[in-house]
Amino acid sequence: MTVDEFPDVGISADDAEAAYRSRVVELSEASVTRRFNPYVDIDWDAPDMTVVPDDPRWILPDTSLPMGHHPWYVSLPDERKAQIGMWLHINTLRRQRQLELLLVNGLAERQFALPDGSPEIRYMTHEMAEECGHTLMFQEICKRTGLHVPGAGRLVRLLFLFSPIVAAVMPLTFLLSVLAAEEIVDYYQRSVLRAGAEAGRIPPMLDRCFSAHIAEEARHMSFASDYVRQRVPSLSRIGRLWLSVTAAAVSRVEADIQLYTPKQFFRDCGVPREIERDFRLRSPFIKAERRRALGSMRHLVAELGLMNPVGKLAWRLYGISGPPTRHRLEPKRKAV
């Protein structure tokens, strides 16, 4: 059951807690019956998994990463687009691997505060194991391409040090940051799979890995959403206002992490200086991408009752306001 199916009215606090704990148990059982192993379920040595740098299937769809629909990229020959697309895909995977490690770090700390018998202990342990599997899967792809990319910027290394503290002291803020990151990643991977299915053009390596990752992350997002939603009603008015502001803050931070393009990319791929300016975090192009990428998160925050006047102001001040998607994970429309 997802956050969208959680009853809003007509249920006591005790019944709501019992229903929440039951869902956590169901998610744990699903982690056993629908388990994915990157070295069992993927044949890495299959012929179609061979990496070819100028393979046109590496070309970025115009609905995925920002570069995919930039006029400069669209105008390039296919061979060049494929080389650039591979670099950006691999850098995105390395960044996701780093973020998965950050999540595992926070979940490990969070378990220290849980009492024996809590169903969350088992579920969080399952999720940590699955996230470790994802890091292995992403690392395997990066290794097989032979590319040496930086992934995320220095901010993620700093966040890695503080993630256990945030998870222990402010678990709702921690899980909202996790949701913001996962929504953006899920958005990117679904758009790549969707575009690949429509055009019949996606590297088998990405196809298999993204499909597996999306399936398991659906459980993770369901747990985080339910956890936050179960606890928001018990917050004081001040606590709710505080969380509405931090929801905007962590969404902005996660969006910047995901949309940051390292300087090494521009050097390695010979991108002109005038094009590089479009990919700075303060550029109008990236500002528009940031607002678009957070549509699902705005929907979730509104569902949680955190898009109050203070929250709306925070989203505007952080430059990430805009309409929520009509439903979560709504496909991104092509840029006009």
Residues 145-195 have pLDDT tens digits of: 999 999 987 878 888 889 999 999 999 999 999 999 999 999 889 989 988
**For residue 7, is pLDDT > 70?**
no
- What is the band of 11 on the pLDDT scale with cuts at 50, 70, 90? confident
Tell me the average pLDDT across 17-33. Answer: 95
Q: What structural domains and CATH numbers belong to the chain?
A: 66-318 (1.10.620.20)
- Amino acid 1: pLDDT: 40
**For residue 328, is pLDDT > 60?**
no
Residues in CB range of 77: below 8 A, 6 or more apart = none
- Amino acid 4: pLDDT: 41
**Burial profile 159-185: b = 16 or more Cβ within 10 angstroms, e = fewer:** bbeebbebbeebbbbbbbbbbbbbbbb
The whole-angstrom separation of Cα 14 and Cα 280 is 49
- Amino acid 40: pLDDT: 94
Residues in CB range of 191: below 8 A, 6 or more apart = 61, 63, 64, 331, 332
Residues in CB range of 288: below 8 A, 6 or more apart = none
Side-chain-side CA neighbours of residue 196 (13 Å): 22
- Amino acid 191: pLDDT: 87
Q: 252-265, pLDDT tens digit by residue?
A: 999 999 999 999 99
The whole-angstrom separation of Cα 280 and Cα 173 is 27
Cα 294 to the chain's mean position, in Å? 10
**For residue 227, is pLDDT > 60?**
yes
Q: 192-224, pLDDT tens digit by residue?
A: 998 877 777 889 999 999 999 999 999 999 999
**For residue 304, is pLDDT > 70?**
yes
Share of the chain above pLDDT 90, in %: 76
**For residue 64, is pLDDT > 90?**
no
Q: 133-148, pLDDT tens digit by residue?
A: 999 999 999 999 999 9
Tell me the average pLDDT across 81-91. Answer: 96
Tell me the average pLDDT across 271-281. Answer: 94
Residues in CB range of 41: below 8 A, 6 or more apart = 212
Specify the range with the lowest mean pLDDT, choosing from 5-14, 51-60, 303-312: 5-14
**For residue 325, is pLDDT > 50?**
yes
**For residue 294, is pLDDT > 80?**
yes
Instruction: Please state, rounded to an integer, the average pLDDT across all residues of the chain.
Output: 90
Q: What is the 3-state secondary structure of the chain?
A: CCHHHCCCCCCCHHHHHHHHHHHHHHHHHHHHHCCCCCCCCCCCCCHHHCCCCCCHHHCCCCCCCHHHHCHHHHCCCHHHHHHHHHHHHHHHHHHHHHHHHHHHHHHHHHHHHCCCCCHHHHHHHHHHHHHHHHHHHHHHHHHHHCCCCCCCCHHHHHHHHHHHHHHHHCHHHHHHHHHHHHHHHHHHHHHHHHHHHHHCCCCHHHHHHHHHHHHHHHHHHHHHHHHHHHHHHHCCHHHHHHHHHHHHHHHHHHHHHHHCCCHHHHHHCCCCHHHHHHHCCCCHHHHHHHHHHCHHHHHHHHHCCCCCHHHHHHHHHCCCCCCCCCCCCCCCCCCC
- What is the band of 119 on the pLDDT scale with cuts at 50, 70, 90? very high
The burial of 143, by beta-carbon neighbours within 10 Å (0-12 exposed, 13-18 middle, 19 or more buried), is given as exposed
Higher pLDDT, 167 or 63: 167
